[in-house]
Chains A and B, each alone.
Chain A
Amino acid sequence: MTAFVNRINSAARNVPTWVVYIVLLLPALFLVYQAFFGGLGRDPVKALEHELGQWALKLIIAGLAITPLRRFAGVNLIRFRRAVGLMAFAYVCLHFAVWLFLDVQIWSQIWADIVKRPYVTIGFAAFVLLIPLAVTSNNWSIRTMGPAWRKLHKLVYVAAVLGGVHYIWLVKGIQIEPLVYMAIIVGLLALRLRWPKRATA
């Protein structure tokens, strides 16, 4: 087990972070390609919106998994956390852009939807919360902000939960997939709780 973890860790050390950006960009490029040349089915707009939303949520989850992975499994991928987080944000932006320009289109309806449709409101809130995190995902911010930086970045917990609720709320009826996402998010957050230490006999 530890040999395996060590192998992962030393392999990870040899991967430059820009590789992660490129790799995580590939699904978006592929989706855009499919959107233009067929392959997203009969309703490419919805398919694009859904796929980008799914990727956004997956990457947020991946970002949340990095710290517990180190703590509980000794796998150290902290170097890639910024890349994963920023790419998650990029997918949220693309998802939002598809909604704005290809789905809703009508400017007067956009604000009405954000205010009146709870699942859109929640998605939008998650998006807004992620903006300051994306803006401060650089070395300079970490240096100048000091301890406030860590506090600010706890907002990702809220954004992740909002993203999960957004998904549960937008489907018709009770569907399994969004509940699975939510369970994973809640699980990853629970791992961060500090349980009161029990006296050992």
Chain B
Amino acid sequence: MANRWTNTLTERDVTPEAAFLNRRQLMAGAAGLGLVGMAGTARAAQETLEPNVWEDITQYNNYYEFGTGKEDPAEYAGALTTKPWTVKIDGMVDKPADYALEDILKAMTIEERIYRFRCVEAWSMVVPWNGFELADLLNMAGVQSGAKYVAFETVLRPDEMPGVRYPVLDWPYVEGLRLDEAMHPLTIMATGIYGKDIPNQNGAPMRLVVPWKYGFKSIKSIVRITLTDKEPPTSWNKANAREYGFYSNVNPEVSHPRWSQATERPLGGGLFARRVPTLMFNGYEDEVASLYAGMDLKANY
């Protein structure tokens, strides 16, 4: 855990206390991984990210199981029962089992991660997630040596999810990551926002957050995690392979076939908010570009 990622600071964090914290994180990094990670860390820490307000984050969601409108999830997701919750971890792991969420949480360290969130529809937010690194969970289950990918599945409950009556997607929603992406310290399982329990419309009780990929990769309300040696199917790719690739890394140079990804509209700025340029890997280039060294990012969109 030496290569833990250090959080990006916010304006309110620019205080002596935060400076102390940040130095501590830097030292932890120095003790462990070394210089490559640190350079990125130092740069990321200089930047300031102001999180969106709670209402932006919780009343503007894509969660098609509750309807395709942006306000549908906030309106209908209340019906989802999230207690009790179990996550099946299976496939190429040492300890396949149905894990109760409480037991998982007891073993994990929850921390705050303020991340940019970039939707494939070209809007964006900044979200102060609370969660733990996915790597910690996978290590708990014991990843076997042949595993190369991680597959995820969202809960499917037609009684509680009015949207699944419509064949917008092939339910249940499924997603996947390459193992190294899943083990990356930026990749987290979020269980909270702004220090509160994560609301259902945001993917309660536990969702993935992969900040350098388009939002739809960050699958919500996870009930199953499977380690495999084959690239797992992913929902949007199944629906339209030409528009949504397995990787779906944020990339301003690779357009969606139906719209440009060069710029984005940050939410929360009202009617006259300006568009801003989209950053390579959503601003996490220093941290993750090496995962894709030598890969053609146009072909592997």
Binding site for B on A (CB under 8 A): 35-36, 41-46, 48, 102-106, 109, 112-113, 116-119, 169-176
Contacts and interface: CB of A to CB of B under 8 A. Distances in A.
B259 A41 contact: no
A103 B64 contact: no
A145 to B, nearest CB: 38
Question: 3 closest Cβ contacts across the A-B interface?
Answer: A42-B60, A173-B168, A42-B56
Interface of B: 55-56, 59-60, 64, 68, 70-71, 121, 123, 166-169, 236, 239-240, 255, 258-260, 262-263, 265, 267-268, 270-275
B260 A113 contact: yes
Contacts of B168: 172-175
Nearest to A41: B71
A48 B59 CA distance: 17
A174 B274 CA distance: 31
A173 B263 contact: no
Contacts of B267: 42-43
Given A42-B59, A119-B258, A175 B263 contact: no
Given A35-B271, A117-B259, A175-B68, 12 more contacts: A44-B271, A45-B273, A46-B123, A102-B272, A104-B275, A109-B260, A112-B260, A113-B259, A117-B260, A172-B236, A173-B240, A176-B166
A41 B271 contact: no
B149 to A, nearest CB: 24
B60 A41 contact: yes
A73 to B, nearest CB: 32
A126 to B, nearest CB: 17
Contact of B263 (A109, A117, A169): A109
Contacts, number: 67
Contacts of B70: 41-43, 46
Contacts of A117: 258-260
Contacts of A170: 258
A51 B109 CA distance: 45
A44 B260 contact: no
Contact of B275 (A35, A42, A106, A175): A106
Contacts of A106: 263, 275
B271 A36 contact: yes
A112 B166 CA distance: 34
A173 B64 contact: yes
Nearest to B166: A176
A41 B59 contact: yes
A200 B166 CA distance: 44
26 contacts: A35-B271, A36-B271, A41-B71, A43-B60, A43-B70, A43-B265, A46-B123, A102-B271, A102-B272, A105-B275, A109-B260, A109-B263, A112-B260, A113-B259, A113-B260, A118-B258, A170-B258, A171-B68, A172-B68, A173-B64, A173-B169, A173-B240, A174-B166, A174-B167, A175-B68, A176-B166
A43 B167 CA distance: 26
Contacts of B263: 106, 109
